[in-house]
Chain A
Amino acid sequence: MSMDSRAVVVGAGMAGLVSAIRLRQAGMDVTLVTQGIGGIQLGQGTIDVLGYVPERVLGQPLAAVTAYGNAHPHHPYAILSADDVRAGVEFLRALLPDTFVGDLERNYLLPTAIGALRPTALPQVTMAEGECTPGKQMVFVGLRQLKDFWPELVAGNVARTELPGGGRVSTRAAWLDLPARANEVDSTPLYYARAMDDPAYRKRFVDALRRVVEPGETVGLPGVLGLADRGAFADITAQLGQPVFEISTIPPSVPGMRLNDALTRLAKDARVKVVLGSQVLCANIDGGRIRSLTVGTTGRPTEYAGEHFVFAPGGFESGGIELDSYMKVSEPTLGLPLWVPEGDLVVADHNAAQPLFSVGVRFDHDMRVLDTAGDTVHENLHVAGGILAGASRWQEKSGDGIALASAVRAADAILESVQNLEGARNA
């Protein structure tokens, strides 16, 4: 069996979904093949461009992208420019209007679920009030039935932190005893988020909140403020009559899930064909071009043919890159050549960004994979996201900027090549 699609995208994280939607919007026939749900919901649901270099980046993250790329020739930002990042972020923002705040002119500084102040370029609207400014009064409110948000830890650390321009936030911790579901003592953020989709539950929640919140306080809550109902946050804020914000917890992260759900729905609504739960087994190659991918679909392998391929399987976290017991790294799906940093890949310092996690594929500005000699591996294969070599995404807070810039560049390079081909034909 052979299904003909013009473009096949592998991976359903930020990079895969965004490139699929962009290609589809340009009129291309797109199939997205993915082994599982992508990594967006493992993250915090913000758009990080560049937060640490390693000093904290506060103003002008795009200028920092340029400087960082110039200083680090192996980093994705050495190839992807600040304009690419802007194009990627603006594309996402156009896809998801009213979801984010921020203007790429500065980074927000928001408390994490343990009370560190984390820089990000575009927080979700639901997080914006968490910005720490001198003299602000914050109360962090935990839920007795949720074990991944400890308000004493958040409040204590935020209060202990001197803000970059001087001054501090004054903080307090409080608790609510309000099960997400009757008699449940051990709830995940997801259970709470589903409960918050119900207006009646929200009313009970705000009534309980009112009893612990003081006038003048900004209210910090775990990231559970609604999943399907996009009006939940505005409703809670309006009912309480005080500023509210949410803080992403460790996975599953509800703000990340909302983002994942929204992008997946956009892809499906745009009639991207999404093939879920299917592992790519191999590429079928002919004359330096990939003709099709063989995919392990239910029952028997299926071949997905196309003229263009976007490969965005993620890095080690998703199995996109592997390290075997003989300590050899590989890209197990297509066998792509990997860039490996010099020196030890894993180091004894637990606080260091492990060099292993910067292993990935090298690429050109059309997001084509390059081999060690710098030559293109497959003419029609483009890569994006966490598989790109050279970044320490988690320490740098650069993962979303890299994913968006590379996804849009990959899609645009494909579209440019089609236009060039058509232009040549017309001429």
Chain B
Amino acid sequence: MRTIDTDVVVIGGGATGAGVVRDVAMRGYRAVLLERADLAQGTTGRYHGLLHSGGRYVVSDPRSATECAEENIILTRIHADAVETTGGLFVSTPGDDPEFPDRFLAGATASKVPAEEISVGQALRREPRLNPGIFRAIAVEDGSVDGWQMTWGTVNSAKAYGAQILPYHEVTGIERDGDQVRRVRAHDHKNGEDVTIDCTFVINCGGPWAGLIAGLAGCHDVEVVPGRGIMIAMNHRLVNTVVNRCIYPTDGDIIVPVHTVSIIGTTDVKASDADRLTIPADEVQEMLDSGEAMIPGFRQSRAVHAWAGARPLVKDTRVSATDTRHMSRGMSILDHHDRDGLKGLLTITGGKLTTYRLMAKNVVDEMCQQLGDTRPCRTAEEAVPKSESGKTYVVTHRLEDREADRMEEQIICECELMSRKMFLEEMRGRPSANLDDIRRVTRLGMGPCQGGFCSTRAAGLALHDGLIDVGRANGLLELFLKNRWIGLWPILYGAQVRQTALDQWIFSGTLDIEHLPEPEKAVL
């Protein structure tokens, strides 16, 4: 058993937890981040990639709109390498409420969200695939952001300030000494080892799982309801600008160009278990119909992958009045001293990816106040590692890189232009990683072939490099294909069926993968 002594334990490795651990570390505290799976594997990695301009909330939630507009500018600066400044359009499609655009423009002015109406002709020139029947178009400063890259940038910054980042460490207990939090127990899944962390403060950033984590500290009835949303990635950039329907926010009204794909989202259905999210066929059809409304012919383009994420929706009856001062719309801080009589535990949940930094600031401000410290938040001032240049992401970056190293490097994943060197750097840095862990950082297997060509190369290369043994190579390959299939089978139609037939031909027909020797134990 390992023992760690620290000041602050942050639980949850999504955007919020990463932001909190960075903030805490930058204020000079010793900090440890615990995440039960891989970083950004939960809600943070399962969204549509939108960096809000605030436009979406100018009518429904002006305060969130203002926060988004402010944070958009900050994130574009401190996470330049994860952000693409695509710009956004709010368009009225035939049948949409003709009054809404005027309310939108008024709301944008009031909430200080930059917005400018452009002519339909200008909008169609900018995005030729848009429905030619649109009758209003408003340009905003939406962008897209890679949630994994942003989270890794954030934790890498935290590490530079001395924080310890421990993915695949599941919290098993939060212990108290009288009315004060003293210790967190966790299980290291990759090494099968228990870890004890002595601390003076715990910040629960568990998102949809925050209620379960609070329960481990004996703070019950923190009810976080998972709001399930599905997203579908289409094979091409059908648009290069974020396209929103100019209506009161509803299902399937956003298309976001992210990397080489465009993502349509999303639905919002109450789920019972954030670990078992489905991708129902009727919701897939709903997304395709919505896509068709914005982009005629959407159904004929190729869907490559779908996923479901869980929004953390807080439904807490025991929040005392004093807590509301920390609450902005959509984000809630629970002070468990007030609520449950336990000092040294705060829960933060709700919110959205675009405002992750602000959420972190708010909760760490509260912690500092409780500890009687006056250490200012500096997270907006400094770019995370690899974003120092301020050069934002463009979709051709990989092409530029491969153009430079094509005489020296093999391309392991052609769809996403991932080189042998990129794969080995990641895998050598984390030899216990599975291929999905590597995928989230390198985009291995995320293109049209969905692992058909690259996954055996990745497993073979890791084995060849001595990072894993042959049993684990088989296990990693099997696990990767199993996980790819989760996001494939619900949207299997059109050209992706043809691809899948080829992939089955490769894996079953040619490689006979079903008859590999079994891995000695299940891999993680």
Contacts and interface: CB of A to CB of B under 8 A. Distances in A.
Contact of A324 (B460, B463, B493, B498): B493
Nearest to A353: B508
A180 to B, nearest CB: 13
A116 B511 contact: yes
B497 A397 contact: no
Contacts of A324: 299, 493-494
A7 B466 CA distance: 58
Interface string A386-400: 000000011101010
Contacts of A117: 512, 515
B459 A116 contact: no
B192 interface: no
B407 A323 contact: no
A383 B7 CA distance: 73
B510 A248 contact: yes
A148 B470 contact: no
B512 A317 contact: no
Contact of A156 (B463, B484, B501, B511): B463
Given A142-B464, A394-B508, 8 more contacts: A147-B410, A150-B457, A152-B460, A156-B470, A323-B492, A325-B288, A325-B303, A397-B509
A6 interface: no
A357 B501 contact: yes
Please classify how large the interface on chain B is, using the bins under 10, 10 to 19, 20 to 34, 35 or more.
Answer: 35 or more
Contacts of A251: 502, 506
Contacts of A142: 464
Contacts of B460: 114, 149-150, 152-153
Main secondary structure of the interface of A (DSSP, over half): loop
Contact of B473 (A153, A327, A351): A153
Given A113-B510, A156-B469, A315-B501, A147 B516 contact: no
Interface string A356-397: 110000000000000000000000000000000000011101
Nearest to B473: A153
Contacts of A181: none
Contacts of A317: 498, 501-502, 505
Contacts of A399: 509
B178 interface: no
A34 B464 CA distance: 41
Contacts of B482: 350-351
Contact of A183 (B407, B461, B508, B509): B407
B412 interface: yes
A116 B511 CA distance: 7
B212 interface: no
A253 interface: yes
Nearest to A248: B510
Contacts of B303: 325
A352 B317 CA distance: 46
B276 to A, nearest CB: 12
A115 interface: yes
Interface in B405-430: 406-412, 420
B517 A150 contact: no
A394 B509 contact: yes
Contacts of A261: none
Contacts of A72: none
A348 interface: yes
Nearest 6 pairs of A and B residues by beta carbon: A150-B460, A156-B470, A350-B485, A394-B509, A317-B501, A394-B508
A43 interface: yes
A316 B498 contact: yes
A346 interface: yes
B409 A112 contact: no
Contacts of B492: 323, 346, 356
Contacts of B470: 115, 152-153, 156-157, 160
A42 B505 contact: yes
A356 B511 contact: no
A185 interface: yes
Interface string B388-409: 0000000000000000001111
17 contacts: A44-B509, A113-B511, A116-B511, A117-B515, A118-B515, A150-B456, A153-B470, A185-B407, A185-B410, A317-B502, A323-B493, A324-B493, A325-B303, A326-B493, A346-B492, A351-B514, A394-B505
A22 B471 CA distance: 47
Contacts of A105: none
Contacts of B457: 147-148, 150
B489 interface: yes
B453 A250 contact: yes
A346 B489 contact: yes
A93 B127 CA distance: 57
B106 to A, nearest CB: 38
Contacts of A351: 482, 514
A56 interface: yes
Nearest to B459: A153
A186 interface: yes
A150 B510 contact: no
Given A147-B457, A153-B460, A317-B501, A160 B511 contact: no
A72 to B, nearest CB: 18
B488 to A, nearest CB: 8
B464 A350 contact: no
A354 B502 CA distance: 13
A394 to B, nearest CB: 4
Nearest to B515: A116
A319 B493 contact: no
Contacts of B512: 112, 116-118, 397
A345 to B, nearest CB: 9
A234 interface: no
Contacts of A356: 492, 497
A117 B281 CA distance: 38
A147 B409 CA distance: 11
A327 B509 contact: no
A393 B281 CA distance: 27
A322 interface: yes
A25 interface: no
A178 B206 CA distance: 52
Contacts of B508: 353, 394-395
B504 interface: yes
Contacts of B469: 156
B216 interface: no
Contacts of A238: none
A142 B456 CA distance: 14
Interface string B376-391: 0000000000000000
Nearest to A39: B505
A112 to B, nearest CB: 5
Given A323-B492, A325-B494, A347-B489, A114 B511 contact: yes
Contacts of A353: 508
A323 B497 contact: yes
B474 interface: yes
B269 to A, nearest CB: 19
Contacts of A316: 497-498, 500-501
A239 interface: no
Contact of A147 (B406, B420, B493): B420
A161 interface: yes
Given A150-B461, A153-B470, A354 B504 contact: yes
Nearest to A144: B410
Contact of A114 (B452, B453, B516): B516
Centre residue among A115, A183, A319, A348 by max chain B CB count within 10 A: A115
Interface in B290-310: 299-300, 303
Contact of A116 (B484, B493, B513): B513
B489 A112 contact: no
Nearest to A153: B460
B463 A150 contact: yes
B517 A160 contact: yes
B208 to A, nearest CB: 22
Interface string A128-149: 0000000000000010010111
